[in-house]
Amino acid sequence: MRTPCEEVLPRSEHLRVLALDVTDPESIRHAVEAAGPIDALVNNAGIGMLGALEGTPMATAREVFETNTLGTIAVTQAVLPQFRQRQAGVIVNVTSTVTLKPLPLLAVYTASKAAINAFTESLALELEQFKVRVRLVLPGRAPETRFAENAQPRMQKAIPEAYAGLGQSVFEGWGHPAPVTQALDVAEAVWRAVNDASCPVRLAAGADALALL
């Protein structure tokens, strides 16, 4: 966690919470050192951004890529040497089904996740020789998490007047009852990706995601 908080999860002798900001090379180095030998790396940290490209400052686009794309790449790079040396380990990258079905007002976010799909599939081939597995988990829309709330600060003025009608139709669409993804669906897909060596490179998580994939 960027700000470690022991109370978020039930206490357990099997659980240790470490500080990690995936955009900070020093923080990554410390976390990997403090973790000791790692069996599975799950790159789940991610930030959202909904808005028209015209309403998205380049600084915001960079922020999204720093976390979702370069953060995943940097943490993976930091963990890889021990996986290669032990000839064991699993890397699971959490992206999104928006990379399968394009939606408006998500161009930057989708690009940041689609890059990780491509990264993962190439890396999987590169690491096969070392018995290191690399997998993708693609959740559908998961309104139960704090994703939308956490994206709010990046979304000020993100929908300029010319895009207001489109914005309204997207928000109205989300109001209709439809299958969604639960956090538990994602946890189960991650568990399978880590423990089932025969699972495919791309795993959908959630009822809406399964329908798409």
Ligand X SMILES: NC(=O)c1ccc[n+]([C@@H]2O[C@H](COP(=O)([O-])OP(=O)(O)OC[C@H]3O[C@@H](n4cnc5c(N)ncnc54)[C@H](OP(=O)(O)O)[C@@H]3O)[C@@H](O)[C@H]2O)c1
Tell me how far, at minimum, the Cβ of 167 lies from ligand X, in Å: 17
Nearest residue to ligand X, scored by beta-carbon proximity: 46
Single out the segment in contact with ligand X by CB under 6 A; choices: 33-41, 44-52, 158-166, 170-178: 44-52
CB of 161 to ligand X, least distance (A): 27
Among 85, 87, 122, 150, binds ligand X (CB under 6 A): 150
Cα(146)–Cα(111) distance, rounded to whole angstroms?
21
Under the binding rule (CB under 6 A), the answer on residue 47 touching ligand X is yes
Among 28, 42, 46, 110, binds ligand X (CB under 6 A): 46
Candidates 20-28, 56-64, 81-89, 156-164; binding stretch for ligand X (CB under 6 A): 20-28
- Would you list the DSSP string of 179-202? ----HHHHHHHHHHHHH-TTS-SE
117's tokens: 């799909």
Contacts of 166 (CB under 8 A, 6+ apart): 52, 104, 105, 159
What gap in Å lies between CA 142 and CA 53, rounded to an integer?
Answer: 23
Mask for 94-123, x = binds ligand X (CB under 6 A): x-x---------------------------
Cα R_g (the chain), whole angstroms: 18
Does position 21 interact with ligand X (CB under 6 A)? The reply is: yes
Q: Which two tokens stand for residue 21?
A: 């900001």
Least separation, in Å, of the C-beta of 157 and ligand X? 21
Residue 147 sits in the site that holds ligand X (CB under 6 A) = yes
Task: Provide, rounded to whole angstroms, the least separation between the CB of residue 139 and ligand X.
Answer: 4
Catalogue the long-range contacts made by 112-119 (C-beta closer than 8 Å, 24 or more residues apart). Answer: 112/64, 112/65, 112/68, 112/69, 113/46, 113/68, 113/69, 115/65, 115/69, 116/43, 116/68, 116/69, 116/72, 117/202, 119/69, 119/72, 119/73, 119/93
Give the nearer residue to ligand X in terms of CB position, either 59 or 197.
59
Residue 2 in the binding site for ligand X (CB under 6 A): yes
Span between the terminal Cα atoms of the chain, in Å: 30
57-76: contacts with ligand X (CB under 6 A): 67, 71
Residues that bind ligand X (CB under 6 A): 1-3, 20-23, 44-47, 67, 71, 94, 96, 139, 141-142, 145-147, 150
